[in-house]
Structure 1
Amino acid sequence: MSGKTVNSAIFLLILGNGMAMVSDLIVKMQGENVAVFQFVAVRLVIMLMLLLPFIKKVDFDRLWEGGRLQFIRAHVSYAGICCMVVALSTLPLATANAIFYAAPLLVVVFSVLFFRETLSKSSLFAVVSGFIGILVILRPLEISWSAISAIGVACSLAISATLVRKLPKGQSTVHSMLVSQIMMVPIAMTLAIWEDAAFDTDTLYYALGSAVFISMYNATVFMSYKWVSPQQVTSAEYTGMIWAILLGILVFDEVPDAWLIVGSSLIILPLLGIAYLERKRKQFGRLATS
């Protein structure tokens, strides 16, 4: 794999994470009075429409294969999206995203608990450091529903990522996304009706903007990981924190404090260390077998 290709993939991921932060920014711009269930339902419909051009990648002969697992993932993801809207609308942009980055740590924990994987010393250090980082950011005396929502997002992302390995082999990303989104529709519509919030046309624009930018992020991730091995470029994913800090300062005048910087470092740096060690281990393995 050429250095030029790797650099292109890294650039795409950095750009993509900026787009993901713009999506978060749009969600946050709605303010604390957002009708959460209504917004999520409208965004869900738009996401389904954005998937339609890729419908050929769906295997309709096996559409509902793994349906029980997809149903669980869909509803966990729906809960996570609702938590995300609450967290982003009430917490500083960088604070919310710092907690979201705890998801990879939770994936490690869930893999040990549910798949009996062995926890290496480096992974154990990263998990302990990450949870300390969350405590540093939130400071237990200040924990609120906003903070709990942010932790809920991380848990949702981690559960969804952990369950992916149990999905039927050969299912495309578009297939999985489409089935998951379809399964979210009943609960999304039911809760939106129950919420009984007056419809505001601004909700449509916010939902459209958020859906478009998060779809662009998904596209950059797909392209990057198609070009090169994830181990080569995964560290670029954490540039999202830089975007979150910059956009928070520029748009909302949210200057990060020392607690956020220290806590974020405790979460992200060990993860970068694990990615580096894993890359070195694979390089050594290739040399040993060549």
Structure 2
Amino acid sequence: MSGKTVNSAILLLIIGNALAIVSDVFIKLMEPEAPVFQFAFLRNLITVLLLMPLLKRAEYGRLFEGFVVHAIRSHVLLAGLLCMVVALTTLPLATANAVFYAAPVILMVLSVLVYGERLSPLSVLAVISGFAGVLVILRPTALDFSALSALGTAFCLAVAALMVRRLPSGQSTLHKLFLNSLLAIPASFALAMWEGAPWRWEIIASAVGSAVFILGYNASVLKGYKHVDANQVTSAEYTGLIWAIAVGWLAFGEIPDLWFLTGSLMIIVPLVLIGLNQRRKRRLIHRRPGAEAQGA
């Protein structure tokens, strides 16, 4: 799959999201009482070891450019990973993933607060419907630590996405992924030592599996977005929830209820509509008289 056509890019994103769910499964297979900090340290360490041979010599020369922003962002992502482990080991797979999809909605709100962006009426609808959808899925009577952990994951993902604008230009995504894990190693190691749990082979196996498959997801995303406009294919990202429902049902016997289906639609449908609206606007721009001459 080249990823050079819209169809092949969509297929890459569908496969990539399936790989991300496999990564989640490795986490979910751990016991709820598993050492969370130990897992986080091992996954960050394994990710660094996997990515190190792939970095170019030039990237090593400017490895720590933008160190402060990278350091803050890596620890935000570390917090998100810790919340994700708690959510995935205690909530149904599809429920946790549905709440994770609230990240784009939270990002819209943060963009208004931090960068002063203005939301379109459709974006406002997405924010309201998205937060309402999370409440429908979790339901206030069931808002426990597990649910808050899933929301914490979504919030951390949104903050990390917001900080991308502050990163140095010219750094490859591979470079950013490498620093995300490298700079989180000291804190995650200190937390693992404080946790004091004995090192367990099953945790190492889960960390290796999760790291490998989430890198597979990142590679698919990189290739999927490389040659086509993001607004043409980004809706394919939401197939991850379909994978989560299917795997949760087949592997863990988790049957989604009407609350889950309704809440998921409330989160995802407005986001898909935003993507379709952006695609329509882009097509209109290209169809305007003189557009080709301006682009020449």
- Tell me how far apart the structure 1 counterparts of residues 110 and 148 of structure 2 sit (CA, whole Å): 19
The aligned residue for residue 157 of structure 1 is: 157
1:200 maps to 2:235 = no
Structure 2 residue matching 1:32: 3-state secondary structure = coil
Alpha carbons 1:57, 1:174 under 8 Å: kept: no
Alpha carbons 1:26, 1:210 under 8 Å: kept: yes
- Tell me how far apart the structure 2 counterparts of residues 148 and 3 of structure 1 sit (CA, whole Å): 37
Alpha carbons 1:58, 1:172 under 8 Å: kept: no
- Tell me how far apart the structure 2 counterparts of residues 57 and 237 of structure 1 sit (CA, whole Å): 32
Alpha carbons 1:136, 1:262 under 8 Å: kept: yes
1:78-121 Cα deviation digits (max 9, x unpaired): 00000000000000000000000000111111111000011110
Structure 2 residues not aligned, in runs of 5+: none
- Tell me how far apart the structure 2 counterparts of residues 237 and 207 of structure 1 sit (CA, whole Å): 24
Residue 57 to residue 264, structure 1, CA distance change in 2 (3 Å) = farther
Cα offset, 1:60, TM superposition: 3.0
Extract structure 1 runs of 4+ deviating beyond 4 A. none
Cα offset, 1:286, TM superposition: 1.4
Cα offset, 1:159, TM superposition: 0.4
Residue 153 to residue 58, structure 1, CA distance change in 2 (3 Å) = farther
Cα offset, 1:276, TM superposition: 0.2
Percent identity between matched residues is 50
Alpha carbons 2:90, 2:146 under 8 Å: kept: yes
1:27-63 Cα deviation digits (max 9, x unpaired): 0011212110001111111100110221117523322
The aligned residue for residue 265 of structure 1 is: 265
RMSD: 1.4
The aligned residue for residue 92 of structure 1 is: 92
1:252-274 Cα deviation digits (max 9, x unpaired): 10000000000000000000000
Residue 58 to residue 31, structure 1, CA distance change in 2 (3 Å) = farther
Alignment of structure 1 residues 177-192 onto 2, 5 Å: 177-192=177-192
Alpha carbons 2:137, 2:259 under 8 Å: kept: yes
The aligned residue for residue 220 of structure 1 is: 220
- Tell me how far apart the structure 2 counterparts of residues 165 and 38 of structure 1 sit (CA, whole Å): 31
The residue type paired with residue 120 of structure 2 is S
1:53 maps to 2:53 = yes
TM (norm. structure 2) is: 0.95
- Tell me how far apart the structure 1 counterparts of residues 14 and 189 of structure 2 sit (CA, whole Å): 34
Cα offset, 1:68, TM superposition: 1.2
TM (norm. structure 1) is: 0.97
The aligned residue for residue 246 of structure 1 is: 246
Alpha carbons 1:57, 1:175 under 8 Å: kept: no
Residue 58 to residue 213, structure 1, CA distance change in 2 (3 Å) = farther
- Tell me how far apart the structure 2 counterparts of residues 34 and 255 of structure 1 sit (CA, whole Å): 25
Equivalent residue pairs, number: 289
Structure 1 residues not aligned, in runs of 5+: none
1:233 maps to 2:233 = yes
- Tell me how far apart the structure 2 counterparts of residues 25 and 176 of structure 1 sit (CA, whole Å): 25
The aligned residue for residue 21 of structure 1 is: 21
- Tell me how far apart the structure 1 counterparts of residues 212 and 70 of structure 2 sit (CA, whole Å): 23
